A and B are shown apart, each in its own frame.
Chain A
């Protein structure tokens, strides 16, 4: 009997017009950057996709001044109901061009088209629709009548969800009446630059959205610019710390969404098949490049063996490979650098005596790849249980009682998210109440909604994005 082989089902990349080089988007125009331009590659093939400009100090200053002018002359004074029209228009255009965005996101980031098409891009459009609805209702955001925008927002976003993080930052800022200068990650700038095209298509006034590309130095110049009123950053905890130091002592507002090491807690009475799916979604979604990934599995001892057997069987069905194939479940690691970091931390797991098991999948010859991996026999003392790996690597720990589960889940410097799997409703509420994490998912994992605030405790950062709370971080209450 022949095995069920899915024939390749590649999404066409012809829908995307890739330019050989991209400039900076400042004051509604694409311009050259003053820095040394750099290349962005397709992590699945190592093919160079395009050359991208680097913004130097003068470029960043120009972008901030453009944003300031647009804020004072156009966007700030504009009634909310007018701003809403622009946001609705952007949301619609994003939905109309969703296939183009999904393909480009997959090319630049390495994530499977199934996820960019079914998760990222639809959420991006939803984020703009949701915040468009808020633009004329800011009086009801819980900050009293007539809350005011902060001014110019400097926004720095990571490479794991390039377009979605852009939406999380830009949509609330614009809805609240701020203008923005956004810096996408240096490995994934292309969808942000395509978004600039959407802003032009929507006839957004010049200077309301500015996009400066570059690496760490460009980001540093942006967040330390004296004429910026708000800094919003999503990324690693070390960089977040540096930004907090830079901003300290100024009157800039700051939101930080940093790392995580989320506990995914499976009780013995969990809906077992769905819990296995939730574990898989928790850690292997987006190759584990998720700050709220469920990277620590806490499973009750009585079912630990069963859960592991089922998990391994399920992992063996994950399809790793060409991210543009519609049947691919696990795509490429975003960069050689990140792949090295994952390998180093996994090696630490071996050295410290944990047992490694990887899904039996063939890795492509070219590109950056890492097979979905679990470590068993992990304890709280292991590095792989404490440090964020940011890759498809799961550490499995066990517990005996609910109290022990909570204790272990909270025993981490992070606190972004957590998961609870049990059929008992009262236990869900009791455990969720005790977990120190910004989001607790019950019988599900990695679900995002524009109406739901998202953010962390402890080293996972501060401030919230999404919902009324996220909006509030771009507004000042009336005084």
Chain B
């Protein structure tokens, strides 16, 4: 990584915490009703990366999840598909068997979630996931290197992983909960985009706080500014802690008003979530039938 890039990162405008959080709170107070809500729920469903990242994941469990991504609401064929299923790399093949090419297969790689391994191991992890059928790789950055100021290492590792991805899309997880400051989040976002990330993602879901509205707003500002500066569009994926339809719609409002409607598309915005989908489905049923059903009217996984 060149010195000029590092100098460029230092010249990024600062972030005022109070102002950023106030803006997020203001956008969260938008009132969304009826037709817009219906539309937003369907859009949110089509943006879900249905995720399971447990040590106990088994082929049976991820197959079931993959089936759900294809048919989120078995009683209603008009319900859109989820965007992708996100699993550990060794599970990607089982997902692919089920979904074919109808849903993306995302795999976490690069010694997820800590990222503490040699570059060789990270690259091998990535290559194995791609070989297993993943067409999207979710990598974690080396937060230790980032926080110690060694931006070059972070940058070069992303470049190397991007190469190992081949034609697969690369989502770079910043783990914003560990970066601590908003200035760091903005710097890491630009670093990742410059190194070739197709998506920037907030969190692994293993660290608290995970995705927050202000952090996502900030990353949306970064992708908006990056496109103005370079012409290249990068996606954003908040992950972890987004559980309700109400929350998901707040995120969509922020996408619309910060980055713009170009990002209101599963190609450019995703939710990393496991339990969000069921709430979206229950709200969807409520909108269509006028009645609340209950957790037994949506599938378990």
Contact = CB atoms under 8 A, between A and B. Distances in A.
A-B CB proximity, top 4 nearest? A274-B19, A9-B31, A272-B13, A271-B16
A272 B12 CA distance: 9
Contacts of B32: 6-7, 9
A114 B29 contact: yes
A375 to B, nearest CB: 24
Given A274-B19, A327-B31, A443-B19, A4 B14 contact: no
Contacts of A272: 13
Given A5-B35, A9-B33, A274-B20, 11 more contacts: A2-B39, A4-B39, A4-B253, A6-B32, A8-B33, A114-B29, A269-B14, A274-B16, A423-B13, A423-B16, A444-B19
A5 B252 CA distance: 12
A201 interface: no
A273 B27 CA distance: 14
A423 B34 CA distance: 42
Q: Secondary structure of the A side of the interface? A: loop
Interface string B233-260: 0000000000000000000110011000
Given A269-B14, A274-B23, A443-B18, A1 B264 contact: yes
A270 B36 contact: no
A382 interface: no
A441 to B, nearest CB: 11
Contacts of B18: 443-444
Contacts of A423: 13-14, 16
A326 to B, nearest CB: 4
A1 B264 CA distance: 8
Interface string A419-438: 00001000000000000000
A270 B13 contact: yes
B261 A4 contact: yes
Interface in B3-29: 13-16, 18-20, 22-23, 29
Contacts of B256: 4
Q: Secondary structure of the B side of the interface? A: helix
B36 A4 contact: yes
Contact of A6 (B15, B16, B22, B30): B30
B40 interface: yes
B265 interface: yes
A272 B13 CA distance: 6
Nearest to A421: B16
A479 interface: no
Nearest to A423: B14
B221 interface: yes
Contacts of A470: none
Contacts of B13: 269-273, 423
A131 B29 CA distance: 30
Interface in A1-54: 1-9
A3 B34 contact: no
A4 B264 CA distance: 8
Contacts of A8: 33
Interface in A262-312: 269-274, 277-278
A7 B253 contact: no
A217 interface: no
A355 interface: no
A271 B19 contact: yes
